[in-house]
Structure 1
Amino acid sequence: MSLIVYTVASLFTVTALLIFRRPRLALRDPLTASTCVSIFLGGLCFFCSAPVTLGAVNEVTHVPNFGAPMTYSVISAYSASLLILLINWRGGPAERVRSQVVRVATVYSLVIVAVITLFALAHAPVERLRDLDTYYANTPYMREMIVLYLLGHGACAVITIYVCLRWSREVTGILRLGLRLIMAGLAVDVLGFECAKSTAVVARWAGHDLDRLSTGLAPRAAALGALLCAAGFVLPRLLPATLSQWRSIWDYRALGPLWAELRNVPTAPKPAPPRWQLPRGRLYYRELRILDALLALQSRCDGRVRETAYRQARGQGSPPGEAHFIAAAAMVVDAAHQAGRPGPPEGPGPEGGSRLHTALFSDTGELVRLARALAGSPVVRAAREGAARTARS
């Protein structure tokens, strides 16, 4: 059991670190900060509830079952953090958001104080690492403490499901998916954890033994529900950035032929890029170098080459948009070969520069289309061969 909860706690910690990778920016954003706090507390819940952790805490404090109020307090804090995260995520007027956050924090702070107070008043001399809820279900003050933390966590789950259900009807896309994951996770938590724990406790009140629901089903349901819930909160925040980085990898590779054509064009010196970069940063530096090279080729671009290539591309059946990029690629290839030869630039100069300026922009998609035309068009291949023959002569 300890291995399961420690694994879940580790997953929560890694997720929190991914979101909190820029601490200064994260602390300025209430949504990011509350997301990290909620995920961290979720992981802490599982860490504290592990029998190994409970045993170590009891031994260090020399208080039997001291780990119980500690774990219940963390669960209550986690419940409050879920509600606060949902409030910040939903947004609205700043004053209303602040007021709601204060109310939630106040209520669950009182719950935590009550849990600790009830434990202090109770008499629980026998250490129970796995079945404390049912073992002490009929013990004065311990009984009230157990019911209180279950009610606090259950109220959080029901309120969050209700708000997410209403909100999911107003939004679409990945945000709706995230809300549905949250609802699914909380539904698993309510049915698998809350109901199982409550049923086992009530069974003890009635003189029956259903402890296996509390010790077997509840921890596993809590782990699954918490993972689904965390995925629902994190997915809308991390998935767009992840997809952006993934697209950057493909765009970086797609620009390879264009960069290979232009990498030897003399340009103004630039600072060396950082050695370790995410794909988006690598793509940015490649685009910057390509654009610098294209600007350096302005005076060598020959509009006649572009017009000829455009007619050839149209004659081969290319649509106007594709022919536009094929013609621009042919002109770039010709200009790049000119840049490799000594002497003044050839061609009409200003007219060619104007045509290059209207053909190419700093948009990544257009640079990728230019690179694909340069790599795959027979018209561009013929232009390259013609430029090479001119260079040899």
Structure 2
Amino acid sequence: MFNLESLVRENVLKMKPYSSARDEFKGTASIFIDANENSLGSLAGNNYNRYPDPHQRKLKEQIAAIKGMEPGQIFLGNGSDEAIDLLLRLLCRPGKDALLNLPPTYGMYEVSANLNEVRIDEVQLTPDFQIPVEQVLQAVKPETKLIFICSPNNPTGNSIQPESIEKILRNYNGMVVIDEAYIDFASTPSWTTRLKEFPNLVVLQTFSKAWGMAGLRLGLAFASEEIIAYLDKIKPPYNINEATQELALKALEQQEQLKFMVEEIVQERTLLEQTLPTLKQVLHVYPSDANFLLVKVTDANGLYKFLLDKGIVVRNRTTVPGCEGCLRISIGTLEENQELLNAITEFETQD
């Protein structure tokens, strides 16, 4: 049975969180001389001389209304990477505990684990990039505190079979983190709809992909209020700046436009999926529920360099186990995608 307190590091259970000036004051006031801010104002304008709301209340209320959950079930981070790092710090004792990784997958799970001196155990995905569930459950050890599952998966693009994830959730008593950075481009429902069913579930999402706000660095974690309370306890006090909160609220006011952008990206993805296999250089285009395609080609390194020389930057994934000979190609505009196709055709005609 899942027991959160038994997973959380003892020092975190005992620690007293930092109390900011904005935490200690409640009510209304006209003079703020409590936080050592510059009361003369900001050279950047607006109210940027003041510290932002450390709990991002307005933003969480808006997100909660859209997602159909309570604000207390939402953690906002400086990108999803902050949530990944804090989950490791929350649960894993350096040099003692472990996470279970399922490569090929997002590289920051491994980077954060190494930074926090957390052992990385691995179970390779199957050739069609699905989870070998029995192998995963057999790989779990007493010190395995977390399993990261990226769905839709990066760099492969496919969604993970929900029955596989559900079996892990029901048979593993540690934390299961489902990274849904690309969920807006998929037809499958988000796992946020099942948070009440699984107390050991954390779902990560981001404003960086479909919302087009990568430059603002705003990530989300959804979980039980108990898990979110611990993340709030250990986060930096002002981790989301005022400008990001303001612009995110502005974007949420235009959420109806999101579906049109997603539809256009998915349409362009479909066109590339259909056109790329007609090129001689392309051996296989893997199915994708994301805003990119994993493409197996005859000469990944040569094509990658040729595209760079043309000013076209893709991601070379050929050194990633399971992705040998593959390039990861983000879906661009109609014009960008056509330039890509023209460049690949030109590469094929070289002597």
Shorter-normalised TM range: under 0.3
Larger Rg: 1
Higher share in helix: 1
TM-score by length of 2: 0.19
